[in-house]
Structure 1
Amino acid sequence: MRLFKSLLAVDKGQPAQEITPVTSDEFETLLAKNNADFALAAQLAHFSGQAGESLLLPANDKQPAQILVGVSEENSIWDLAKLASLLSEGSYRLRSGNVEKLAFGWLLAQHYFDRYRSDHPARASRILLVDSDQSAIDDIVAQAEATALVRDLVDTPACDCGPAELQKAVEEIATIFQAIVTTTHGKELDSNYPMVAAVGRAAAPHRAPRLIELQWGRPEHPRIAIVGKGVCFDSGGLDIKPSSSMLLMKKDMGGAAHALALSYLIMAMKLPVRLHLVIPAVENAVSGDAMRPGDILTSRKGTTVEIGNTDAEGRLVLADALTKASEPNPELIIDFATLTGAARVALGTDLPALFANDDELAHQLAESGNKVQDPLWRLPLWSDYLTLLKSSIADINNAGSGGMAGAITAALFLQEFVGDSLKWAHFDTFAWQATAKAGRPKGGAAYGLRAAWHMLKSRYIQNG
């Protein structure tokens, strides 16, 4: 970690090239005030002040060299991303604009996943000097590092990111902050987390299932639980996916990546909470010992579950994990999961579906998402749809009947395993950038991460 610490610094008058953000309206005002040479330079560079455009103005008798960059009225977090990827190595001074928003995209534009490239291209370091205090800079840097962590974990192919490697990633983060990690596997997993064991039992021995827990924080602080779906590859099981659907299934541990990244933020910024991270890590494989459609599993909670579809495995491992997370009676549980295609059909790839059993919590998350430009959309926990999960021979079926409301029925299934009276939020997120944009390469992506972080900061720093 600490990928971006040297790329963002407090402006103390160090030598640097000036960057001046301008909106399209502000640029029109500049045109009116400046001479014909200014207008010609803008015309030749096709610069009109639109977000992402840039214009280099050479030094003259009146002012030093500067760079104009077009930004949106509200300052998008990605407005500086294209510029940051174009500039040569050096130091740059941001003269105005919303530092917290603009600096985030500046940092992420300098993140690359090139682990598997034999021709590692040289990377220029562009340092941004900002008029801000060090604590705000530390927060921006931590958010960028957490986002990069999600991207790197999701982009890593399943051959190098199985349950054991996911455990190692948690342990590496824990070492930084002196957190405690415990892992349950083998016969102990069979006894205590039977649905995690059942989903993962078809995998090869070196990819055996496990439940990973991280604990951090002082006992007197409020306890919160973060849970992430860690399906390191999802073949669909015996209800096997077609090849086109399987192609991106290395990202099915994206929920675990988000959960670990949020835990990193909590620990890096010393949020006054007692953190409990729970990640069920499995591979949903196919073998003679694979879980079968029609099987009945008994969960950690004791609820019996009929397997209507082996490709609805994420909710099974999350159910045992949510039961575990509920047992110490935390005041808040948040889970992340790449859970349903239905959420993508409803909301697309960039907008995670939010489910929450508490209106105030849902409002705080939605408001936080809007503030930090990490939007989400709440869908209802519509209890009438529980009938779609009925089983004639078990307490509940893992796959909703009728083919409708798939994201809702999945969330309702999870809710059955959250402790009574506990506040809980569930993010059904895609964890993948489908189309490359400035600062956002095609590949692993964090959706809902910064919304959750802003909510937690508002909730616990204010009260802490």
Structure 2
Amino acid sequence: MTVHLKAKAPSGAVAITVVDRAAFQALVTELPAPTRHWLATLGFKGAADSYALVPGADGKLGQVFAGVEHAAHPFALSALPQALPEGDYVLSEQGLQLRPEQAALSWELGGYQFDLYKPRRRAPAALYLPADASAQRGIALATAISATRDLVNTPAEHMGPEELAQAAQLIAKQHGAKFKQIVGDALLKQNFPAIHAVGRASTRAPRLIELNWGSPKAPLLSIVGKGVCFDTGGLDIKPADGMRQMKKDMGGAANALGLAALVMAFKLPVRLQVLIPAVENSISGNAYRPGDVIKTRQGLHIEIGNTDAEGRVVLSDALAYASEHKPELIIDLATLTGAARVALGAQLPALFSKHFDTARDLVDLGLKLEDPMWHMPLWAPYKEGIASSIGDIVNTGRNALGGAINAALFLEYFVPEHQDWLHIDLFAWNDVARAGRPVGGEAQTIRTLLAYLEQRFSTKS
């Protein structure tokens, strides 16, 4: 923990003055001449993610100036924890005043490093904040985001279906949720044939992971996460460069667990169900094949056009099962298509919704919170592209056009027409480093989804 919540910071804690360019211009004329000249020598002007160390009269570090894009930025202080000298820091009453939530969130995420295998070179600097609900919320958000990143970053050797289930079980224990799983051939007995078909080739048994939490009287919220712990592509094997990062193909499950942990930590007035079809898409003599026709829990038959489009196949059973419980809302999160990345890049998850007003609200909220997603259409005429001549639907489109839409339309077959449903096709990965967002696994949209759920269910009794 790099943020400490205490009424009073330790003596000797160094003050950090937070400014943006405008605030710095307003403040600089009021500074002592030596400080003003020192900052001018360093060229500090308050640019985002910049900082300046100002020595005290004793030659020790006396003050820090930190530039931010704006005071509400979720990564406002993230450039500092691993750049400032080790020690204790406190926010100054000079300059911009950050909300405790923003300060705690950005500082904690700035101190994040995946260190399971490679030890840290140094400890992050420590920030002291008053112990209030806002700061505690920031720490809770950062904890969930960091845990999500850790799950995605962990190599498949140590994050297979069983280990993913263990992670879910730990989260359930922390929040008093009920945990269960259906493993291996029991999937066939309990009518989850699509999950079984995709995962049967691996020596690591496929499974459906389920968490349940909350009052039976509360509205039901179902969160579904794609848990493909490694994706070779199956018999339609991926090339080496396409397989390199496939440990992250369970990023939807990781984000689902991160969101679920926040729902439970903040005690939203919902009855929560979390479903994760967890598999490894491997190659062996009993692997499912191109051209196979697989029956699903719902009864629809899927023709397999390509074994590398496995995520939508396992999600079909999970979505059908979620729908049987008639939830008020289903949210599925999945690293589903490369087509979504071609369309929107790494930083913009694709959002599909049956309701334009909901989609607009989520896009606006995501932009406000700087945890974005972008609305894409469930364009019904494209359904003809996933029609099958020997089954009900095929798991690939007629060609590469509209690939993310085709995948979403495929999933829509397993959600009843009246059922409210959000599908988010995300990357769960930072491909470039930014302050507080190192290259590697990432939590995407969960802050926005949490805020949306708080708004939606806050008036429910």
Contact 1:10/1:134 (8 A) holds in 2:
no
Contact 1:94/1:129 (8 A) holds in 2:
no
SS at match of 2:423: strand
Superposed CA offset, 1:334-378 (max 9, x none): 010000000000100011000111223223322321222101100
Contact 1:101/1:372 (8 A) holds in 2:
no
Deviation at 1:14, TM superposition (A): 5.9
Distance 1:94 1:272 in 2: 37
Contact 2:225/2:253 (8 A) holds in 1:
yes
Counting matched residue pairs gives 453
- Of 158, 162, 165, the residue aligned with 1:164 is 162
- TM, length-normalised to structure 2: 0.94
Q: Which residue of structure 1 lines up, in the alignment, with residue 212 of structure 2?
A: 215
1:267 equivalent to 2:285? Answer no
Task: Select between 162-171 and 369-378 the one with higher mean Cα deviation.
Answer: 369-378
- Where does 1:227-306 land on structure 2 (aligned, <5 Å)? 227-306=224-303
- Of 403, 417, 425, the residue aligned with 2:414 is 417
1:351 equivalent to 2:352? Answer no
* Unmatched tracts of structure 2, length 5 or more: none
Task: Select between 356-365 and 141-150 the one with higher mean Cα deviation.
Answer: 356-365
Q: Which residue of structure 1 lines up, in the alignment, with residue 48 of structure 2?
A: 51
- Of 392, 407, 418, the residue aligned with 1:395 is 392
Q: Which amino acid in 2 is paired with 1:235?
A: T
SS at match of 1:168: helix
- Where does 1:106-121 land on structure 2 (aligned, <5 Å)? 106-117=107-118, 119-121=119-121
Deviation at 1:449, TM superposition (A): 1.3
Q: Which residue of structure 2 lines up, in the alignment, with residue 196 of structure 1?
A: 195
Deviation at 1:28, TM superposition (A): 1.7
Q: Which residue of structure 2 lines up, in the alignment, with residue 445 of structure 1?
A: 442
Superposed CA offset, 1:285-321 (max 9, x none): 0111010111001100001110011000000001100
Deviation at 1:74, TM superposition (A): 5.4
Q: Which amino acid in 2 is paired with 1:443?
A: G
Contact 1:388/1:409 (8 A) holds in 2:
yes
Q: Which residue of structure 2 lines up, in the alignment, with residue 123 of structure 1?
A: 123
Q: Which residue of structure 1 lines up, in the alignment, with residue 358 of structure 2?
A: 361
Superposed CA offset, 1:165-204 (max 9, x none): 0000001111111211111123320231100000001101
Superposed CA offset, 1:432-452 (max 9, x none): 111122211111011111111
Contact 2:90/2:129 (8 A) holds in 1:
yes
Task: Select between 390-399 and 87-96 the one with higher mean Cα deviation.
Answer: 87-96
Q: Which amino acid in 2 is paired with 1:170?
A: A
1:321 equivalent to 2:322? Answer no
CA separation of 1:449/1:407 partners in 2, compared to 1, >3 Å: closer, same or farther? same
SS at match of 1:86: coil
Q: Which amino acid in 2 is paired with 1:387?
A: E
* Unmatched tracts of structure 1, length 5 or more: none
Distance 1:407 1:255 in 2: 15
Contact 2:129/2:135 (8 A) holds in 1:
no
Distance 1:260 1:437 in 2: 24
Q: Which amino acid in 2 is paired with 1:202?
A: A
Distance 2:148 2:92 in 1: 27
CA separation of 1:178/1:422 partners in 2, compared to 1, >3 Å: closer, same or farther? same
- TM, length-normalised to structure 1: 0.93
How much identity, in percent, do the aligned residues show?
Answer: 45
Q: Which amino acid in 2 is paired with 1:219?
A: P
Contact 2:269/2:460 (8 A) holds in 1:
no
1:150 equivalent to 2:148? Answer yes
Q: Which amino acid in 2 is paired with 1:229?
A: K
Q: Which residue of structure 2 lines up, in the alignment, with residue 176 of structure 1?
A: 174
1:309 equivalent to 2:309? Answer no
Deviation at 1:135, TM superposition (A): 2.2
Q: Which residue of structure 1 lines up, in the alignment, with residue 3 of structure 2?
A: 7
Distance 2:87 2:34 in 1: 28
Deviation at 1:46, TM superposition (A): 2.4
SS at match of 1:67: strand
Distance 2:44 2:102 in 1: 22
Contact 2:81/2:125 (8 A) holds in 1:
no
Q: Which amino acid in 2 is paired with 1:369?
A: G
